Amino acid sequence: MSDGSRVEAAPRLAQWRVDALPCYTYRKSLPFRIGLWNWYLSVERNNKQTCVKLFAENSNSTKNGPSAPIASFVTKLLISPPPNQQTIVHPGIFDKQLKHDGFVWAIDSTVTGRFVIEIEFIDLKVADPSGGEPASIWASHQIKQSSDHTALSSLARMMHEDILTDITINAADGSVRAHRAVLATRSPVFRSMFSHDLREKELATVDISDMSLDACRAFLNYIYGDLRSEEFLANRLALLRAADKYDIADLREACHESLLEDIDTGNVLERLQTAHLYRLPKLKGGCLRFLVDFRKVYEMHDDFDVFLQTAERDLVAEVFHGVLAAWSGRISFRFQVMMLAKLITNLFKNKRVNASI
């Protein structure tokens, strides 16, 4: 594209100088950046109208990018240079969410010669993911980001520098100090502990003997907003147990999603039992699909035998039901009989163990 497609942009103002536009002609600008978005202008002329369009790139909302902008702006068409400049002004757009169709201004007159399309942004907002009021990117949005970052940094310092800590967390191989108020804010279980006359309140200690010190530190780092990705990956199962035990739903869901991402033959049976124990349907479905649809169970005879002997019998039955349903007509009758025999043996073995208990 030539320089005639370039838009001059300032923080809130954009101007596109358009050369004479013949009838039945369409032109589109190069992208220009204002706020969080790349924007485009286009103009089209027929024998009755001149149409101006403004739209944001990917404004239909992407997974990782900002949502469609909620814009307030004034649009002008500046025809002929000063001092004889003629100006056509649109009445104005206020708090309009510009999705894929953008903003279109149809001017009921043809424009000849050179002209300038001017967009002056009054405000740009983004939607609140939690359903609250949209926030301006030029005021509250930036302030909120800065405030959130500062608050999280301060929380992390409170724990790492032992600033006014008032509770000791005893892990299996060590202890760490924390703040009752922070723990109670993040977990209803901790809040109940510290609100009633229980041992934890009286002694100012909480025993988490089923967690290593490293896992406990990772758990607290998550609560304090300072958990690093490698620390999270190394302690996912321990963090899932803690999230379930202390009723921290967002951590539980983060672990659930993460455990889905790297299922392999070395961990699928452990993940399957974890999914069953903690009622994680997506993880269970992912493990069953890995075993059954991809036939990985063929490669795991020894591990699968151990699974049959140790797993809960209703989970074993569920696995076999899925295997036989998926492979009906695709595996030999002999193999089906062998698998059913293993299932029956395992069920009776579990019955004898339960009866002895």
| HSE-up (13 A, CA, CB side) for residue 312 | 10
> What does the pLDDT read at residue 327?
62
> What does the pLDDT read at residue 98?
92
- In this structure, CATH architecture of domain 3-134: Sandwich (2.60)
Radius of gyration of the chain (CA): 31
What are the tens digits of pLDDT across the range 304-329? Answer: 888 988 888 889 888 888 777 766 65
**Measured distance CA(171)–CA(217) in Å, rounded:** 9
Under the banding of pLDDT at 50, 70 and 90, the label for residue 349 is low
pTM of the full predicted structure?
0.60
- Cβ contacts of 84-89, under 8 Å, gap ≥ 24: none
What are the tens digits of pLDDT across the range 138-179? Answer: 865 566 667 777 888 899 999 999 999 999 999 999 999 999
Q: 207: helix, coil or strand?
A: strand
Q: pLDDT higher for 354 or 274?
A: 274
Look up residue 118 and give its two tokens: 């001017």
Under the banding of pLDDT at 50, 70 and 90, the label for residue 354 is very low
Neighbours of 52 (CB within 10 A): 24
Displacement of CA 32 from its chain's centroid (Å):
28
CATH code of 139-258, in short, is 3.30.710.10
Q: What is the mean pLDDT of the chain?
A: 86
> What does the pLDDT read at residue 172?
96
Q: pLDDT higher for 67 or 253?
A: 253
Contact 56, 14 (CB under 8 A): no
Instruction: Please work out, in degrees rounded to the nearest 5, the angle formed at the alpha carbon of residue 217 by the alpha carbons of 222 and 152.
Output: 35
Under the banding of pLDDT at 50, 70 and 90, the label for residue 60 is very low
Same fold, 3-134 and 139-258: no
> What does the pLDDT read at residue 352?
47
What are the tens digits of pLDDT across the range 183-216? Answer: 999 999 999 999 988 888 889 999 999 999 999 9
| Paired strand residues for 79 | 86, 115
| Most confidently modeled range among 1-15, 250-264, 329-343 | 250-264
Under the banding of pLDDT at 50, 70 and 90, the label for residue 64 is low
Under the banding of pLDDT at 50, 70 and 90, the label for residue 2 is low
Weakest mean pLDDT among 63-67, 131-135, 337-341: 337-341
Domain boundaries, the chain: 3-134, 139-258, 260-357
Displacement of CA 92 from its chain's centroid (Å):
35
> What does the pLDDT read at residue 121?
94
Neighbours of 104 (CB within 10 A): 12
CA-to-CA dists, residue 230 to 233, 234, 235, 309, angstroms: 5, 6, 9, 34
> What does the pLDDT read at residue 1?
45
Look up residue 88 and give its two tokens: 């056509």
**Measured distance CA(339)–CA(331) in Å, rounded:** 11
Contact 192, 246 (CB under 8 A): no
Contact 176, 220 (CB under 8 A): yes
| HSE-up (13 A, CA, CB side) for residue 190 | 26
As a whole number, mean pLDDT of residues 71-86 equals 85
Preceding omega of 83 cis (within 30 degrees of 0): yes
Give 20-67 as a DSSP string. Answer: ---TTEEEEPPPEEETTEEEEEEEEE-SS-EEEEEEETTTT--SSSPP
